[in-house]
Amino acid sequence: MADFAERVLKLVSEPDYAPITLKAMARRLEVPTDDYAGFRQVVKSLVKQGKLEQARDKTVRKPDHSNAIIGLFRRSARGFGFVRPHTATARADQIYIAPEAAGDASSGDEVVVKIIKRPKRDGMNIEGRIVQILARASGLFVGTYFEDGAGGYVKIDGTTFHAPIYVGDPGAKGARAGDKVALEIVRYPTPYLEGEGVITELLGQRGSPGVDTLSVIRAFSIPDTFDEAALTEARQQASQFSEDEIGERLDLRALLTVTIDPASARDFDDAISLQRDDQGYWSLGVHIADVSYFVRPASELDRSARQRGTSVYLPDRVIPMLPEVLSNSLASLQAHRTRYAVSALLEFNAEGILTSRRFARSAIRVDHRFTYEQAMDVMSHPEKADSGVAPEVARMVAAMLELAMILRQRRFARGALELNLPEIAIELGEQGQVSGAHLVVNDQSHQVIEEFMLAANEAVASYLTENHAGFLRRVHPDPDPLKLDSFAEFARSLGLSLELPQSRFELQRILRETAGKPEEYAVHFGLLRSLKQAVYTPEHEGHYALASDDYCHFTSPIRRYPDLQVHRQLTMLLEGKKPRSNADELFVLGEHCTRTERRAEAAERELIRLKLLTHLEARIGETFHAIVVGVEDFGIFCRLVELPVEGLIHVTSLADDYYYLEFGTHTLVGRSSGRRHRLGDRTAVRVAHVDLDRRELDLVLADAPLSQARRQRSASTTPSPPRSARAPTGFHHRTTAKASSGSHSGPVRNDGASERKKNVKRKPKPRKASKKRKR
């Protein structure tokens, strides 16, 4: 059968092929009469896959995709879906796909769509048909096993599939009802045929400690173990390393150096040194772990690191990009140990202007390790005699704060933007359950590290650019002008004056004027929706939020593969060699690293959401403070203030009036009462319903009876697919105050916040997990 498919596709691809009927094709390919039924089935299957096209006259040809559109498909629980074209800039650009036009495409698939119906009036979406699946989002899924009659089934987590997947006879792989399992799809479901899969792994009984984490790891296909070849290579590197051998490296072991990290950190990427001369000139040293020395191109360690792309920081564990013998030991800049580094040695004048820069492979020895809390204490009280810090170290840390604030002021003077939205971190108990939450601190100790890492990243990027070296840049594209115009309209609806939204200085003014005021969150969330996500690419584009023309990630090679690629190019130049790079390969690598970064962030969000929903199952009916983070015609999305989780207040639960969407102001307005629910508003809500399997949280206003929620669920949290089809609820069900989160919009703070590090606190004792925030 596979041979038939190959022969048919080869035939229709020939330059002189003229469309012929199925029977004529069978004769041309000399298909035996006894095999015709199988041949016919193969061709029909190729037509369903979009690899062939059958015209009205029954002739078969290669499909014409010249006018087709490529995008990502999202299927609703009711079978219909939407394709968001890669070129889309607004929700109205999405293409409605009826259930019978979706074939066996599932959420997240990259598909080719043909337009079959144009809208007849405003407010209606284009309608299309999926003609080909270019790439599956995943072949591996996670769900809950159950049995029905003589068959075993798995209800897939989330809303990807609205019907369970058949997995064979009861007890397959020893599964019992209620077990969480991983499975591979062997036949994707269609409106006419159920899906079929094979269980590949039993994860454990639903609700057991650790099963939620393992479920998310498998659902996102995150590799969580290293193969023996990579581990052996890491051990060899460890056995060959000697602290007494530094070769031709610049010896900076006598230079006063400190690290500032979360209390639970184990992978120390960066260390800082700082001196100031009598003329007021600053000598800043940003020393980054020399991972490229240990991880050579095309090695087993490199292959493994490239595949992972990034370390993954989950609430209760870290999945490192490199084996721990490197990430937590050999490459980590531990205090009082000789470690290899790549040092960016930057000179600034008293005004914070960069006057010179040089780079070197070095050997350093960190004199003092600070937590953020300890560093902030020293910065606030450098003269304290009982701080346990040597006087020269305290003086340097205080000087670090002074220089960092000068650099920060210069950065904002050139137009850098920073959206400060509340971020809540969850606290976990011993069994991995949510025990509390706290507001994430962003004090000056974090800002010091942020500014120094930004300075080093920019210096390296400009140096590589000047030397014509190909490297992965961290690019934050300019916002779409239409989205900025929409934001300006929204700001004016709040009584604010914003005539030139394309001016970053006007945006700065709006953010500054609303700081601490009731409309602060509305403005910040509104601007958030206008920004794009940052990406990795070799293209020479700037970073919008940072107002930087040259920017890359250089400071975290232990946990980010793009940083490792930048290190390799830089060290080649330091050795007097011309860095090798292939533009096409760099584009592919950039796309891969962008995907793995977003996968890691999505997995973190998913697990946090799952743990919080589990926690809220026992708190039905309780009241919480909330902020409106999204407004659609079918309801409003609210983020709880006390816990970092988002839920939907469906429009059917707003029983006091009939509401319509005022699109320009992101507001639901009551037709009779004029009551308004606007983006950024603070409100009070009650937990109405939790669906763990579908990852859904239903809320009602605090003054609404919970019976409204029952009507809400009967109405479904996904709107019906009218001809004015708007994207369904599930497409916008999460918004978090994180950069590049893939939620309602793009980054919140600028990319420099990736250089601050975030730890995860647990009760009664902290889990050993830390993270530098990725922007």
Strands (E), 514-645: 535-537, 623-632, 635-640
> Any residues with CB less than 8 A from the CB of 261 and at least 6 apart, and which?
268, 369, 370, 371, 372, 757, 770
Strand partners for 166: 153, 196
Q: What is the CB neighbour count within 10 angstroms for residue 277? A: 9
Q: How do 179-187 and 196-205 pair as beta strands?
A: antiparallel
> Which two structure tokens, joined as six digits, stand for 518?
């009731």
Does residue 613 carry a pLDDT above 70? Answer: yes
Q: What is the pLDDT of residues 404-423, one digit of tens each?
A: 999 999 999 999 999 887 78
**Which one, of 596, 465, 466, lies nearest residue 539 by Cα?**
465
Output the pLDDT for position 71: 87
d(CA 775, CA 773): 6
Q: What is the CB neighbour count within 10 angstroms for residue 745? A: 20
SS3 label, residue 369: strand
Mean per-residue pLDDT for 591-617? 94
Output the pLDDT for position 65: 67
- Inter-axis angle of helices 583-616 and 300-308, nearest 10: 60
Q: How confident is the model at residue 89 (pLDDT cuts 50, 70, 90)?
A: low
Q: How confident is the model at residue 117 (pLDDT cuts 50, 70, 90)?
A: confident
Q: How confident is the model at residue 753 (pLDDT cuts 50, 70, 90)?
A: low
Q: How confident is the model at residue 762 (pLDDT cuts 50, 70, 90)?
A: very low
d(CA 372, CA 446): 7
Output the pLDDT for position 401: 97
**Most trustworthy range by pLDDT among 27-31, 521-525, 563-567, 653-657:** 563-567
| H/E segment holding residue 205 | strand 196-205
Does residue 460 carry a pLDDT above 70? Answer: yes
Does residue 759 carry a pLDDT above 50? Answer: no
pTM over 0.85: no
d(CA 224, CA 424): 26
Does residue 565 carry a pLDDT above 60? Answer: yes
Output the pLDDT for position 754: 57
Output the pLDDT for position 730: 28
Q: What is the pLDDT of residues 164-198, one digit of tens each?
A: 999 998 887 889 999 999 999 888 887 778 889 99
Does residue 526 carry a pLDDT above 50? Answer: yes
Output the pLDDT for position 441: 85
User: Any idea which of 237-246, 327-336, 758-767 has the lowest mean pLDDT?
Assistant: 758-767
User: Any idea which of 56-60, 254-258, 674-678 has the lowest mean pLDDT?
Assistant: 56-60
Average of per-residue pLDDT values in the chain: 86
Per the CB < 8 A criterion, the answer to whether 681 and 693 are in contact is no
Does residue 428 carry a pLDDT above 50? Answer: yes
In percent, the amount of the chain with pLDDT more than 90 equals 59
Side-chain half-sphere CA neighbours of 338 within 13 A: 15
**What are the backbone angles phi and psi of residue 726, rounded to the nearest 5°?**
-100, 160
d(CA 766, CA 759): 9
> Burial of 609 by CB count in 10 Å (0-12 exposed, 13-18 middle, 19+ buried)?
buried
**Which one, of 502, 474, 486, 734, lies nearest residue 612 by Cα?**
734
> Any residues with CB less than 8 A from the CB of 264 and at least 6 apart, and which?
759, 760, 761, 766, 767, 768, 769, 770
Distance of CA 596 to the CA centre of its chain: 8
Strands (E), 505-618: 535-537
Place of tokens 């490529």: 70
Output the pLDDT for position 726: 29
Does residue 116 carry a pLDDT above 90? Answer: no
Per the CB < 8 A criterion, the answer to whether 5 and 42 are in contact is yes
Does residue 231 carry a pLDDT above 90? Answer: yes
Distances from the Cα of 130 to the Cαs of 45, 56, 192, in angstroms? 14, 18, 16
Mean per-residue pLDDT for 384-396? 84
Output the pLDDT for position 385: 57
Mean per-residue pLDDT for 72-95? 80
* Amino acid symbol at 556: S
Strands (E), 86-162: 95-97, 110-117, 127-135, 140-148, 151-156
> Burial of 78 by CB count in 10 Å (0-12 exposed, 13-18 middle, 19+ buried)?
middle
Q: How confident is the model at residue 721 (pLDDT cuts 50, 70, 90)?
A: very low
d(CA 550, CA 543): 7
Mean per-residue pLDDT for 619-640? 93
Output the pLDDT for position 439: 83
Per the CB < 8 A criterion, the answer to whether 206 and 176 are in contact is no
DSSP string, 702-726: TTS-THHHHHHHHH-SS----TTPP
> Which two structure tokens, joined as six digits, stand for 554?
């250089």
**Most trustworthy range by pLDDT among 103-107, 121-125, 494-498:** 494-498
DSSP string, 373-418: HHHHHHHH-TT-TTSSS-HHHHHHHHHHHHHHHHHHHHHHHTT---
Does residue 615 carry a pLDDT above 80? Answer: yes
> Any residues with CB less than 8 A from the CB of 465 and at least 6 apart, and which?
540, 550
Does residue 711 carry a pLDDT above 60? Answer: no
